Structure 1
Amino acid sequence: MYEIAVDIGGTFADFVARDKQGRALTVKIPSKREDPEETIISGLRDLAQKSGLKLKEFMPQIDKFVHGTTVGINALLQGQGAKTALITTEGFRDALELRRSQLSEQWDFGLPLPPVLVPRYLRIGLRERMDYRGVPLISIDQAQIAEIAEFLVQEKVESVAVCLLFACRNPTHEKEFKYLLQALLPNVFISLSSELSSQVGEYERTSTTVLNARLSPLLSNYLLEISNHLQDFGLKVPISIAQNNGGLTDLVQARKKAVTTLFSGPAGGVKGGWALAHELSLSELVVTDMGGTSFDVSLIRLGKMEVTPQSEVAGYPLQLPMLDIHTVGAGGGSVAWLDHGGMLRVGPHSAGANPGPACYGLGGAEPTITDAALVMGLIDAHDFLGGRMILDVEQAFKAIETKIAHPLGLSVPEAAYAIYKVALSLMIDAVYLMTVKKGYDPRLFSLAAVGGALPLFATALASGIGINKVVVPEMAPVFCAQGLHYAPFQVEVSSTVFEPLGESVNSNLQQTLLQLKDQADQEMSRLGITEDQRSYVWSADLKYPDQHHEISIELPCDVADFPLWQQLGQEFHAQHQRLYGYCQTEKSLTLVNVKLLVKEKEKIPSDQTEHYTILETPDDGMCSLYLNGKFQTLKSYRWKNLKPGMCLKGPAVIKKEYTTVLLEYNCQAYIDQFGNLLIYLGRDALNECQSG
């Protein structure tokens, strides 16, 4: 029997199959954005072939199928989605367009804002009203609903987002509206803000609901089609979908809540980093993932994944908890170009998988990072994607010469190296943004280099940010798919309180907490997770009365022994001191939200670090690379020939199926017992290989 994890990226699709003994089969193929179903079937067919079976024989042997998808995020970035209307409280239909009256770049007043996803004529004010405590003031005008339904039919609206004022305190009116409208328009998708994010923040809640309404019909159709398609080929188990928070859900929830899956693929990489950190006892780890389209950075701190309560996607707020991932357009397919001032730039736009980089020979004429790496000798033209593709060096050379080298007065190798260095600088900046700008010292972290392209940059990146230890996992080229194997089923629920923290709140809190627990338990039971398989994490969002943002305080307790409000206050002041260097204990506090995360109990990989006698490693030949202004001859190794304890000294190249590792001059590396490549830089390299 096999457990399958599939991550469909913007350029490549990764597949990992694990049998009951833990042995893994991997496949990496180009993505077909126009036909993701065919991409999945092609990858599964290759996995079946590697296992010695035909696809129809392989599929019934799958007992778990996890899918990380980019259908939702790709649709958003490409301006696709269902025709959507917005229903909000009368007098508040322009909240979506007023936004927060702030600029992403505070000094650039000409910076264009992302387009409003629902035009004003499709934003409808509903006659109803709740006060800030959730007490009904004006009942829903039921006669108006028939008028709204008639208008939606006339405009051929496919989806409706409903975000009523203070529905986060009392969702009764939203639920009533959905019930009445659904009876009139049974084929229209309806998304309620209270079912997505029951938290204060009218604009953020509205934006989240609109995004969900716009994307869910599209994702729903895709998931239904792929599920039926896989069943036709013999799949017997339901598909599990990865979420932004690193957990799993089923098709029922994923089809209704597309916004929870926007970053399901990259979330698998963070989960894989979490498992790697526990496996190697690395409490502080920077996970850097470079695929064909983007470069992603996330952190593992104190053995935990970093989570942000809300984020921004393509300029639109998303008021949902998700793993904290910073993304820049610096993937293997990112295009190199010259701006109006003649400055060399890389990304953020990508050549994708088709036509792809110029070297793919599919009609692409723009130079990319992949083309530069090929010209530099970092990529073997005859062994790309495990030999699946033969790259065209002449086309890469021509693209760089025409677009970059000739205008800048450089030789083609010089221009290729310049592209490499610019891409590297983008990565260094991204890591600094996630560490230094948050008050963390990157020198205290180790670096995990994953994705098909990042091992080419790993040691240069670590050196540029002062990190002395790099881990290239054995499954680095398919790491996001690998990480999905560790993802548990999980459910997150929340409730807005927004009251001064004190005894009066504490006395009413017990009922709210019990309701949250009951809500989450019902969903976990539906997912098939029994009570003994569940773990509970409670948290509360608090702030000073005059603050705009809150701080989330994790509570190490269950509902039955929820701490007194004084204990909550003490922990908030202590956390505020740690984060900002001061606290104001004389001030009262506001309890904004209470939250509950329920997840399937995880199997945490244990540290099994062993020490080896360091052995010299025979090389597998030599290769020529363009580095530091000249072509150099370096030793070349095959990863599959390396044994635990063998010591590799830089400069050298290590070739692996689907990727290549470049060791700089000041590096030494060896394979550990898990099959990971551990690289040490500078003085640490000397000490490690001398001590064994």
Structure 2
Amino acid sequence: MADDSPTVRLGVDVGGTFTDAALVVDGDLTTAKVPTTTPQHAGVLDGIREACDAAGVAPADVDAFAHATTVSVNALLERDGARTALVTTAGFRDALEIGRQTRPALYDLDAEKPAPLVPRRRRFEVDERATTEGVEHAVDPNEVRDLAAEIAESDAESVAVCLLHAYAHPENEAAVAEGLREALDVPVSASHDVLAEFREFERTATTAADAYLTPELDDYLGRIVAGAADLGLPEPRVMRSNGGVADAETVRRSAVTTVLSGPAAGVVGAAAVAGGATLAGAAEDDETGDETGEPTAAVTFDMGGTSSDVSLVRDGRAERAADTTIAGVPLRTPTVDVETVGAGGGSIAWTDAGGALRVGPESAGAEPGPACYGRGGTEPTVTDADVRLGYIGPDAALGGDLSLDADAARDALDRLADEAGIEGDDGLDAATAAARGAYRVANATMARAIRSVTVERGRDPRAFDLVAFGGAGPMHAAALADRLGMERVLVPGPAGVLSAYGLIAADETHDAARTVRLGLGDETGEELTAAFAELTDRVLADVSDPEAAVELAADCRYVGQSFELTVDAGGGESESGRSGAVTPADPATLAERFAAAHERAYGYRLDAAVEAVTLRATATVAVEAPTVSRAGAVDTKRGARRVVFPDAGAVEAAVYDRDALGAGATLDGPAVLEGAESTTVVPPAWGGRVRRDGTVVLEREEGAAGPTGGDGR
């Protein structure tokens, strides 16, 4: 861990609706939220200026700047990336389109696969052949020159090169890529650089996505770097999908690694909160009733304006996956394991052909936004429902300069009630009844996402805490916990901008992988050691600090199986003298670890040969999370107002100033805690207390009547 931790740190996260900034100056946290604008880089710079002004510091005083962006994921979702050409081995031009024998909807006769990122007219072939044993037919340089001329005529803005078995023997692919770089003035992505793993379709799709995203991300980051320099900021580090940051120059060469940049930052921030003491920087004590600092198992729940993201944290670390699928595009790149559903604050409530009430995935976005934004939006959204139910107060500032238009929200919900045939009941008018229905439907959608990362993977959600953040997450978290039988909800102090805070707390991380397919026997020990050494050299070459730690892993399977399980492959500290390097486990130990993992996952193990398919190395430069603590007043009650809970009806709820609520304070529901960037709703039969770092811990409990006690430590 670096000893010279900067004292002024800035994190900026661009979302679909808002751009969030978090600035920590010697333990004091300042946040800002402004509407996301076009072009995005202008909104980023606006958020930086606002956060610096609020904290009373100049941008030039910032020591570290980290950034998360939606440029890559939006390009995939909206299909507006670069015009991309694909070069493949002769005879394999259509591998990208053929894909796997899977259907988007098994019983839907009209289901269609998403169109490939590269149309057939821009897919080219080259006469070459490599096998897993070596190169059988080398590339003709003259053919590469002719190929470059054809690509130039296709008006391609970027090129992906993915040749058969290039993960094992990249000589032909490297020659093609280098020839195209010399002949064309466009970026060229080669699969052996992007993904040195087998499975041709996934490797081709990932390389094509990298080429598709590179020009736009490169241009965007270039503008951010230039804008930061104009403000006197240091060059930004950019969050990647794996939950770690890297310098902008490295990220500009690997665009596909940023598709889950924003969600990953939020999970990193939530992992800090779930660690108990991590966000505060020191273990809590019994006098304040706070956590001991032991890492806990948690489900992270990030509800923003467009979507909701759910992930898992175990042993204080975010769980990772080796692949993901975005907008129908399979991507084989290390990612924080996030499940996303189209239910956010801006998600539109509507009725289907059968008259049933639905929510999302279409969103009102930032412009015009929900009806209550007063910017011309007329569609009813989840945010409008929250306003009508009383969760968002009449004087609430919805981020930036937005002010509430409750009448517009009511009118939109009245129209929804008419369409869905919803009538008022239990003392509620039709608009409020429609709002209650939209709230329930949105919660059901988000509960399914939580079940997908817990129940569907053999995990009991009741054994996890729920860490809720995002602009809308804390409003829905306790209701979701009730639905899933979860006992505790953690609402971080900077809940509305936790992704921006996560950027400040994120480690620098670099990954490398290589498919080897080696049987785990005594005779393969030296080959495994050599392959791991090569990967270790690769990741250590990318890090900014020689004190980086290296972790090894291997995707293993029983010989003959089609899928692998990833297991730890570390065997102890290396004697090579390289700081942070480790020696790999011997083949027998690796085989036993796989057998144990297989038994945990499937309930049995086999007396069969095991092979290591893909080896992985990760280098991490640890960053100490900044110390953030809260004192503040204890009595912050603003009054009370009528709030509607789906199961309890209309009740009188106490309203508190969330941002001034002091450490050690306790409270009982029903209550609403209003903050600058998010609002926390405490239902009846729930209570809460405030940790030293400002995290509100909600638990089911009876009794008590408002904030009491606490010494503010």
**Please, what TM-score do these two structures have when normalized by structure 1?**
0.93
Counterpart in the other structure of 2:415: 402
The superposition leaves residues 656-686 of structure 1 with CA deviations (integer Å, 9 ceiling, x where unpaired) of 1122111111111111211111111147999
Give yes or no for contact 1:654–1:662 (8 Å, CA) kept in 2: yes
- Once residues 249 and 659 of structure 2 are traced to their aligned partners in structure 1, the CA distance between those partners, rounded to angstroms, is 42
1:232 equivalent in alignment to 2:234: no
The 5-angstrom pairing of residues 666-685 of structure 1 reads 666-682=685-701
1:492 equivalent in alignment to 2:511: yes
Counterpart in the other structure of 2:221: 223
1:146 equivalent in alignment to 2:145: yes
Q: In the alignment, residue 622 of structure 2 is paired with which amino acid?
A: K
Shift of 1:608: 11
The 5-angstrom pairing of residues 242-391 of structure 1 reads 242-278=239-275, 279=277, 280=291, 281-385=294-398, 388-391=401-404
What SS class does the counterpart of residue 63 from structure 2 fall into?
Answer: strand
Give yes or no for contact 1:270–1:483 (8 Å, CA) kept in 2: yes
The superposition leaves residues 31-54 of structure 1 with CA deviations (integer Å, 9 ceiling, x where unpaired) of 11x21122112112212321335x
Q: In the alignment, residue 648 of structure 1 is paired with which amino acid?
A: L
- Once residues 290 and 442 of structure 1 are traced to their aligned partners in structure 2, the CA distance between those partners, rounded to angstroms, is 18
Q: In the alignment, residue 492 of structure 1 is paired with which amino acid?
A: D
What SS class does the counterpart of residue 485 from structure 1 fall into?
Answer: helix
Going from structure 1 to structure 2, the CA distance change for 1:510 and 1:386 (only over 3 Å counts) comes to closer
Shift of 1:505: 2.2
- Once residues 600 and 59 of structure 1 are traced to their aligned partners in structure 2, the CA distance between those partners, rounded to angstroms, is 25
Going from structure 1 to structure 2, the CA distance change for 1:74 and 1:670 (only over 3 Å counts) comes to same
Give yes or no for contact 2:665–2:710 (8 Å, CA) kept in 1: no
1:621 equivalent in alignment to 2:635: no
Counterpart in the other structure of 1:43: 47
What SS class does the counterpart of residue 296 from structure 1 fall into?
Answer: strand
The superposition leaves residues 523-551 of structure 1 with CA deviations (integer Å, 9 ceiling, x where unpaired) of 22xxx312xx2101001111112211101
Counterpart in the other structure of 2:288: none
- Once residues 366 and 303 of structure 1 are traced to their aligned partners in structure 2, the CA distance between those partners, rounded to angstroms, is 40
Counterpart in the other structure of 2:610: 589
Shift of 1:426: 0.8
The superposition leaves residues 379-438 of structure 1 with CA deviations (integer Å, 9 ceiling, x where unpaired) of 123222367321211211111112344541321110011101111111111111110110
Shift of 1:312: 0.8
Counterpart in the other structure of 2:436: 417
Give yes or no for contact 1:616–1:648 (8 Å, CA) kept in 2: no
- Once residues 564 and 630 of structure 2 are traced to their aligned partners in structure 1, the CA distance between those partners, rounded to angstroms, is 40
Q: In the alignment, residue 651 of structure 2 is paired with which amino acid?
A: Q
Counterpart in the other structure of 2:8: 2
What SS class does the counterpart of residue 491 from structure 1 fall into?
Answer: strand
- Once residues 6 and 663 of structure 1 are traced to their aligned partners in structure 2, the CA distance between those partners, rounded to angstroms, is 29
Going from structure 1 to structure 2, the CA distance change for 1:418 and 1:108 (only over 3 Å counts) comes to same
Q: In the alignment, residue 299 of structure 1 is paired with which amino acid?
A: L
2:197 to 196, 199, 217: 199
1:476 equivalent in alignment to 2:476: no
Counterpart in the other structure of 1:656: 675
Give yes or no for contact 2:28–2:628 (8 Å, CA) kept in 1: no
- Once residues 395 and 606 of structure 1 are traced to their aligned partners in structure 2, the CA distance between those partners, rounded to angstroms, is 42
Give yes or no for contact 1:513–1:559 (8 Å, CA) kept in 2: no
Counterpart in the other structure of 1:211: 209
Shift of 1:109: 3.6
The superposition leaves residues 149-181 of structure 1 with CA deviations (integer Å, 9 ceiling, x where unpaired) of 111111111110001111111211111112112
The 5-angstrom pairing of residues 81-96 of structure 1 reads 81-96=81-96
What SS class does the counterpart of residue 60 from structure 2 fall into?
Answer: helix
Counterpart in the other structure of 1:23: 28
Give yes or no for contact 1:617–1:648 (8 Å, CA) kept in 2: no
Shift of 1:590: 1.9
The alignment-based identity, stated in percent, is 35
Give yes or no for contact 1:679–1:685 (8 Å, CA) kept in 2: no
* Worse-matched range after superposition: 391-400 or 239-248: 391-400
* Worse-matched range after superposition: 643-652 or 599-608: 599-608
Counterpart in the other structure of 1:631: 650
Going from structure 1 to structure 2, the CA distance change for 1:581 and 1:685 (only over 3 Å counts) comes to farther
The superposition leaves residues 545-576 of structure 1 with CA deviations (integer Å, 9 ceiling, x where unpaired) of 22111011112334554332111111111110
- Once residues 363 and 642 of structure 2 are traced to their aligned partners in structure 1, the CA distance between those partners, rounded to angstroms, is 28
Gapped regions of structure 2 (runs ≥ 5): 1-6, 278-290, 424-429, 576-582
* Worse-matched range after superposition: 262-271 or 627-636: 627-636
Counterpart in the other structure of 1:523: 542
Give yes or no for contact 2:349–2:357 (8 Å, CA) kept in 1: yes
Counterpart in the other structure of 1:550: 564
Counterpart in the other structure of 1:104: 104
Counterpart in the other structure of 2:177: 178
Give yes or no for contact 2:243–2:268 (8 Å, CA) kept in 1: yes
RMSD across aligned positions (CA): 2.4
Q: Choose between structure 1 and 2: higher helix proportion.
A: 1
The superposition leaves residues 425-456 of structure 1 with CA deviations (integer Å, 9 ceiling, x where unpaired) of 11111111110110111111111111111111
The superposition leaves residues 568-589 of structure 1 with CA deviations (integer Å, 9 ceiling, x where unpaired) of 11111111001110110x2111
Counterpart in the other structure of 1:572: 594
Q: In the alignment, residue 411 of structure 2 is paired with which amino acid?
A: K
Q: In the alignment, residue 632 of structure 1 is paired with which amino acid?
A: V
- Once residues 399 and 607 of structure 1 are traced to their aligned partners in structure 2, the CA distance between those partners, rounded to angstroms, is 41
2:188 to 180, 190, 210: 190
- Once residues 390 and 672 of structure 1 are traced to their aligned partners in structure 2, the CA distance between those partners, rounded to angstroms, is 30
Equivalent pairs counted in the alignment come to: 672
